[in-house]
């Protein structure tokens, strides 16, 4: 194979390679990169699907859409007139980011010891990195849209919509991944040259401006972490502190869309474009951690708490408005018009993980887990080759689901988009799932997420075996441990009843009370010691806050970290006509999915009986009558089968509900 720059991971690498986030000023240190390996279960299946289906599909679509052609046409011989002249392909100036996000995912995939699909991935990686090296401008600038000689705008002319620093952010993250996972610094050299140009132009004493799309902030902090050069941390802090002065030319959307109407520390609530908001908050969290800025972290805590309490869907989705892909007001959470962009789900998880690393608080991985298994996972089809851009919680019988802004296309998930920000984002996040499970802190290992995995911590190495999220039995077997007492902390998920959680070591029950979301066991561990955690997973129902008008009186069904939904294929009556209450939820049964159901191995379905409501009044707004009102008697019952929300829409189009009518 001709990819001499890509090498297999060194055998017996005791230190391991860092994951996507590697803080210098450590409160909690992530255990990621090569030090956590998924060995089975749902997350490993998702990662395998990513490698075998989503990545090849994405590479094909990027080639077809012209992302690589946009770089090829900038080669010196092309600019000199050799070969056919082709225009820039695509309608957006930030399409290079789709290559960068894909490269970030490829860095992880190429670093794995198995070689499935390695040749095609390696060829794409090599060509793309080579193109970026060759077309980068002498001063470090890199953007295939603005470098086009036919472009009507000059570089840096349109910071609001040009997204040049957003491009830089994704380039840096890809470069850091390539350096950490593959030991390849070519892309890092490209990224450093571009970052240095930005620092020169917009650094201390330079132009006081910010990009219209936050992202570069967390990337610059990671570049500081990788290179040790503090100018990148300084620049990230400047961008965080500058935002909120109304300098972004909004052109009709308003400065709040860009989080530019108030300084971040003064925002009363998360607001504006949901992806921009979460990327900005994630970068600000990185800045607060590395600079020790407690006031900034306090503001981020406040914003997070308000978001979780008033603006996050039961699935973990963020963003209720299609018009500007925005967060929306408090309690503005319509089901059928939920936007909940897949990229916003990834941004929420990025912010959650950074807040966890800054604080050690179990509430943040709680939300990360909810988003992962619901709002994020639903964005990808079962076969890994089609995507949702927006993720509604309800599909009405006459709704023609169209994802993205384009006309036409598939009625459910789509193979690609004119603005394909979500698919490559899925590629990179799936590739690095293992980075967001385990962390360390002075004298303790924190198991924040549960999956079948092999973990090589600094002091403790263990194997984790579990059927999570389908069952709550987790077995951890120690392979290596220090010869002194050491703490292992296990997160008790927020959905679990802490009174029912079981814990044992070597088969002997351990009396340990959960504190702040963690169960802590401290002892001298020996190779072969087995720690068992039991998290009962009864079916449960959720109702919504009384201020949340859209789902008042309805019930959402969940089990463990998974939210479930009802599709018309699994309901003998109309999905809008079945009614459930607490007794029906309490009597629900679980069933193993069959291969014919198209669900992952080990998947659990929920079966329950519902009442069928009588036909409603034909009047849209019937008059209110005085006196006590008795509910109309049910006309019968219906046996329902509920599937995990992430699995909906993989059959023929039809109605769907997360929130089912309540008694």
What does the pLDDT look like over 581-640, one tens digit per residue? 999 999 999 999 987 777 998 999 999 999 999 998 899 999 998 877 777 787 899 999
Q: In the structure, what pLDDT confidence band is assigned to residue 13 with cuts at 50, 70 and 90?
A: very low
Lowest mean pLDDT among 50-64, 251-265, 345-359: 251-265
Q: Which two tokens stand for residue 200?
A: 């020169």
Q: In the structure, what pLDDT confidence band is assigned to residue 528 with cuts at 50, 70 and 90?
A: very high
Which member of 211, 215, 226, 421 is catalytic? 421
Backbone angles phi, psi at 374, to 5 degrees: -130, -80
What does the pLDDT look like over 125-168, one tens digit per residue? 999 999 999 999 999 999 999 999 889 999 999 999 999 999 99
Mean pLDDT computed over 428-442? 97
Return d(Cα 470, Cα 577) in angstroms, integer. 29
Give catalytic status of residue 421 as yes or no: yes
pLDDT at 114: 74
- Distance from the Cα of residue 642 to its chain's centroid: 24
CA dihedral 174, 176, 181, 186 (to 10 degrees): 80
pLDDT at 411: 74
> Would you call 492 helix, strand, or coil by DSSP?
coil
Its pTM stands at 0.95
pLDDT at 399: 78
Measured between its terminal Cα atoms, the distance across the chain in Å is 64
Lowest mean pLDDT among 194-198, 399-403, 523-527: 399-403
Mean pLDDT computed over 53-64? 98
Return d(Cα 526, Cα 402) in angstroms, integer. 56
Strands 518-523 and 473-480: what pairing? Answer: unpaired
Helix (H) or strand (E) holding 505: strand 502-505
Return d(Cα 42, Cα 601) in angstroms, integer. 8
Mean pLDDT computed over 190-196? 98
pLDDT of 409 higher than 80: no
Which member of 126, 226, 325, 341 is catalytic? 325
Q: In the structure, what pLDDT confidence band is assigned to residue 249 with cuts at 50, 70 and 90?
A: confident
Q: In the structure, what pLDDT confidence band is assigned to residue 408 with cuts at 50, 70 and 90?
A: low
Q: In the structure, what pLDDT confidence band is assigned to residue 3 with cuts at 50, 70 and 90?
A: very low
pLDDT of 454 higher than 70: yes
pLDDT at 84: 61
Mean pLDDT computed over 42-65? 97
What does the pLDDT look like over 643-660, one tens digit per residue? 999 999 999 899 999 999
Listing DSSP states for 366-387 in one string gives HHHHHIIIIIIGGGB-TTSS-B
Mean pLDDT computed over 481-485? 96
Highest mean pLDDT among 111-120, 505-514, 563-572: 563-572
């Amino acid at each position: 194979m001709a990819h001499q720059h890509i090498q297999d991971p060194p055998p017996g690498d005791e230190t391991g390679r860092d994951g996507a986030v590697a803080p210098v000023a450590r409160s909690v240190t992530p255990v990621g990169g090569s030090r956590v390996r998924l060995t089975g279960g749902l997350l490993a299946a998702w990662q395998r699907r990513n490698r075998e289906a989503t990545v090849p599909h994405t590479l094909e679509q990027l080639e077809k859409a012209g992302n690589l052609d946009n770089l090829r046409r900038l080669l010196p011989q092309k600019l000199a007139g050799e070969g056919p002249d082709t225009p820039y392909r695509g309608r957006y100036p930030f399409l290079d980011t789709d290559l960068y996000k894909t490269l970030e995912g490829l860095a992880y995939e190429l670093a794995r010891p198995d070689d499935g699909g390695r040749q095609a991935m390696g060829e794409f990686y090599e060509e793309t990195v080579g193109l970026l090296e060759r077309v980068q401008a002498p001063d470090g600038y890199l953007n295939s849209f603005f470098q086009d000689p036919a472009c009507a705008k000059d570089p840096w002319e349109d910071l609001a919509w040009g997204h040049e620093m957003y491009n830089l952010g994704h380039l840096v993250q890809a470069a850091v991944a390539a350096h950490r996972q593959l030991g390849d610094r070519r892309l890092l050299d490209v990224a450093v040259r571009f970052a240095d140009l930005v620092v020169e132009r917009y650094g201390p004493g330079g132009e006081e401006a910010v990009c219209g799309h936050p992202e570069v902030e967390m990337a610059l902090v990671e570049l500081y972490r990788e290179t040790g050069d503090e100018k990148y941390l300084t620049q990230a802090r400047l961008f965080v502190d500058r935002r909120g002065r109304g300098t972004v030319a909004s052109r009709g959307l308003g400065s709040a869309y860009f989080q530019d109407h108030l300084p971040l520390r003064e925002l009363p609530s998360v607001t504006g474009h949901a992806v921009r908001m979460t990327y900005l908050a994630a970068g600000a969290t990185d800045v607060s951690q590395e600079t020790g800025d407690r006031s900034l972290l306090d503001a981020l805590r406040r914003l997070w708490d308000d978001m979780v309490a008033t603006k996050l869907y039961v699935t973990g989705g963020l963003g209720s408005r299609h018009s500007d892909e925005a967060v929306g007001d408090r309690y503005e959470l319509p089901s059928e018009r939920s936007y909940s962009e897949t990229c916003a789900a990834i941004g929420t998880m990025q912010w959650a993980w950074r807040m966890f690393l800054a604080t050690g608080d179990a509430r943040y991985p709680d939300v990360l887990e909810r988003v992962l298994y619901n709002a994020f996972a639903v964005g990808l089809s079962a076969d890994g080759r089609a995507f949702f851009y927006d993720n509604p919680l309800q599909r009405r019988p006459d709704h023609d689901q169209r994802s993205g802004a384009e006309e036409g296309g598939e009625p459910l998930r789509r193979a690609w988009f004119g603005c394909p920000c979500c698919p490559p984002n899925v590629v990179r996040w799936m590739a690095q799932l293992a980075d967001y499970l385990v962390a360390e802190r002075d004298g303790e290992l924190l198991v924040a997420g549960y999956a079948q995995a092999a973990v090589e911590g600094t002091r403790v190495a263990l194997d984790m075996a579990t059927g999570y999220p389908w069952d709550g039995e987790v077995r951890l077997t120690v392979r290596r441990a220090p010869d002194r007492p050491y703490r292992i902390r296990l997160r008790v998920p927020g959905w679990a009843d802490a009174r029912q959680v079981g814990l044992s070591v070597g088969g002997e029950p351990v009396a340990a009370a959960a504190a702040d979301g963690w169960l802590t066991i401290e002892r001298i561990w020996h190779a072969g010691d087995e720690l068992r955690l039991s998290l009962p997973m009864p079916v449960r129902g959720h109702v919504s806050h009384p201020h949340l008008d859209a789902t008042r009186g309805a019930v959402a069904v969940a089990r463990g970290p998974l939210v479930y939904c009802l599709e018309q294929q699994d309901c003998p009556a109309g999905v809008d006509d079945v009614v459930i209450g607490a007794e029906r939820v309490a009597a629900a049964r679980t069933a193993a999915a069959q291969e014919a159901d198209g669900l992952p191995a080990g998947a659990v379905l929920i079966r329950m009986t519902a009442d069928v409501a009588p036909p409603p009044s034909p009047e849209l707004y019937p008059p209110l009558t005085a006196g006590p009102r008795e509910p109309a008697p049910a006309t019968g019952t219906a046996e329902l089968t509920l599937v995990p929300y992430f699995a909906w829409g993989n059959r023929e189009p039809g109605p769907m509900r997360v929130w089912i009518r309540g008694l």
